[in-house]
Every structure is written in structure tokens, then in C-alpha cells.
Amino acid sequence: MKQKQFAKRWGTCFVVVLCLMLVINLLWPDTKESTIENRSLQQFPTWSWQNVWDGQYQSSISTWFADQFVGRNVWIHGRYLFLKATQNKKINDVFLAKGQLIQDSAKPYWSQINRNIKAINTLAQNTGIPTSFVLAPTALSIQKDKIDPAAISYDQNAMTDRIDKKLDTSIQTVDVRKRLKKHAQEYIYYKTDHHWTSLGAFYAFQALYPETKKSDYKQMLVSNSFHGTLSHTTGSVGITDSIHIFVPKNQPDYLVTNEDDGTQSRTWYHSKAIASNDQYAVFGNGNHALVRLEMDTNATGHLLLIKDSYANALIPFLIPYYKSITVVDPRYYYGNLHQLIEQDQIDSMMYVYNVNTFIEDDSLADCLE
């Protein structure tokens, strides 16, 4: 009898608290964005008979309550601290490493991977344009010693080797793994983000141009308060990154044109991003369908760079070596690539992807075909 009364009281208290939180949420102003998760939050939905009838209104209310729950950020951080304290080694697809967050390897879908490889080979064969291919490993491959030795994940090295072997023999595969592994203990990957740092991109660039030295560049700190995508995913506490940029001491003048909106800039670096929630956008102002760089150099080459966001930190190193660089992100580009090659007088092509993006990409083949 006492147990039933106890359970009834606690049940009543729970309902009262839940109703109270609902009232508070209704009165509390909605937040438009989550700085922790770096995404827009569901606003209170507009009521209509049609939305109620098809269930959209009920679904939106549920999402709104979850997104706008008072004290939500505290719960997100609290969950991370609890899981960390209870020796959890992973949150979603992110390993909780030693002072660092490391993204797990994506599951390979070889039907799509093979389709992408076939499209790359066909374009190289049909155009005859010299092509290079850079498949960047993520931190999981290079800094695996930082995660639990018992952790199970897909083998990035095996996937990279298999992909390289499937590429046409005319395509130069640039293996950056050895150089990155040599510098694995340095700050070559962000601790809260899935990208490599400018230093990591520099070591990868040395695989393309071995004669370059760090002393050829000015290294400048632009942020010491960067929280990247993995931090947003886990709600991590106590881990912060810094962002450095590398500027060649013999930097040529150049013009960057974002063909998405026609805006132009005299630098690849976007300083306003440092004050935003997406500080990695300091590199090229984020990802865009088509960007053109025109350099005032003695170089004569016209490069087509087909890439994901890993290339954003690599592009500054390429600038002095070309007359122009046409940058295409297949995830957003819907133009005719063959016409673009002819229009921009492309005489060399380069692919720069990280392993995870490449094996998941379902837009690359469509862009190339």
C-alpha cells in the first residue's frame, strides 16, 4: 500500500514538473540557433487544419519542445560530462580520446564508391588532362593511438589502398599518409573538429611539392576559441582549438570570385568567420559550388580542383603555383563540368577529399558524368 502511494506521489510530481516545464517553454522566448550544436532550432509551428490533419503540426511541436527545452544546453553539456565520467569511450560516431575528439570511420558503400571511381577514370581518359588524386586520412587513421585500443572501426588504410588501385594508371595518386604519420604527435588535426589543421594541410602539401619548407610561410594565429563539428555533436566541455593560417612570404596578388553570388575578395581567408559559430569558414568562407582564383604570377597552369572541405585549408598553399584555380564542390555544383573545363582552359585536375567524405559521396559521379 505504501509503495503504491509512494509511486502515485512521484508520478504526480513528475506530471506537475512536466506541465510546469511546458508552461515555461511556452512563455520563454524561442532561441533561433544553438551555438553548441551550430544549427538552427525549431521555432513554434504555425497552426493550421492541414498541418494537424497530416501530422506535420504534431511532429513540429515535438521537435520544438526538444529544441527549445529550457536549460537544454546544460543538459547537453551534462550528458557529455556524465558519459565521460562513466568511462564511455564514444558518443554517437565520435570517440572520446585523450584530450581530443576523433570521428569514427564512415561505413563504405562500394557500389557508390566504384561509381565515383569509374567517373573519375572516364573523365581523365576522355579529356587526357593530367590528373592527381589526394585522399586525406582522418585523425582516426593517423592518431589511432589516442583512442581505446579495443575500439572497432573500418580500416581507412585498407580502403585507401583499394581505392588507389582502382584508379586509372594515368592518374597520379598522392599518398599523404606517410608524411602525416611522421608528424602524428604535432597539432595536425583539430581536437574538436573533423578537419586537419593548416599544419596538417601543409605536410600534405609537401607530398605534392617536397621542396617547400615551413620557413617559406608566415604562420599567424587567428583564433584560440574554435569549437568544431565534433564539439557540436558531443557537447564537449574543456576542449578548445586554435586556428593558424599560413601565408607565403612571396604571396602573389590574386582575386577570389565566388560564382554563387558574384562576391569578390583579394584573399582566400575570411576574417569575419572568426566571430561566427563556424570559424573553420575562415578558409574560403565555407563551401561553395564554384569559386575562381586568378593569380598575378608567372605560372601558366590552370587547375581544376574538385574537392570537399578538407581542401579549403590546402588551397592557400597551391596559389603561387598556378595562373588560375577553378574550385568545384560537387555537393553543390550543378553546372556542366565539361563546358567549365573548356571555358577555363583547364590543363590539370586535382581531387582532394578526406576518406570519410569520399566513401559517402553520392554527388561526385553525377557532377563528373
Question: pLDDT tens digits, the chain, 369 residues: what are they?
Answer: 555 565 566 567 655 655 665 565 555 565 565 444 444 556 666 656 666 566 665 566 556 545 555 445 556 656 677 777 777 788 889 999 888 999 999 999 999 999 999 999 999 999 999 999 999 999 999 999 998 888 888 999 999 999 999 999 999 999 999 999 999 999 999 999 999 999 999 999 999 999 999 999 999 999 999 999 998 888 888 899 999 999 998 889 999 999 999 999 999 999 999 998 899 999 999 999 999 999 999 999 999 999 999 999 999 999 999 999 999 999 999 999 999 999 999 999 999 999 999 999 999 999 998
Closest C-alpha to 176, from 153, 157, 150, 195: 157
Please give the full DSSP string across 290-308, using - where no structure is assigned. EEEEEE-SS---EEEEEE-
Would you put residue 92 in left (φ > 0), alpha (ψ -120 to 50) or beta? Answer: left
Tell me: the pLDDT tens digits for 183-224? 999 999 999 999 999 999 999 999 999 999 999 999 999 999
3 state DSSP class of 164: helix
Strand 290-295 versus strand 264-265 pairing type = unpaired
The average confidence (pLDDT) of the chain is 86
| Amino acid 39: pLDDT | 46
What's the one-letter identity of residue 145?
Answer: D
Find the Cα–Cα–Cα–Cα dihedral 206, 212, 213, 216, rounded to 10°. Answer: -130
* Ranges of each domain in the chain: 2-70, 99-368
Q: Is the alpha carbon torsion for 61, 65, 68, 70 positive or negative?
A: positive
Cell digits of residue 10: 512521484
CA distance 219 to 213: 12
Tell me: the pLDDT tens digits for 135-162? 999 999 999 999 888 888 899 999 999 9
CA angle 312–318–319, rounded 5-degree value: 100
CA distance 308 to 361: 10
Closest C-alpha to 270, from 284, 280, 260: 284
First to last CA, the chain: 73
Question: Could you identify the residue written with the cell 559550388?
Answer: 289
CA distance 320 to 267: 13
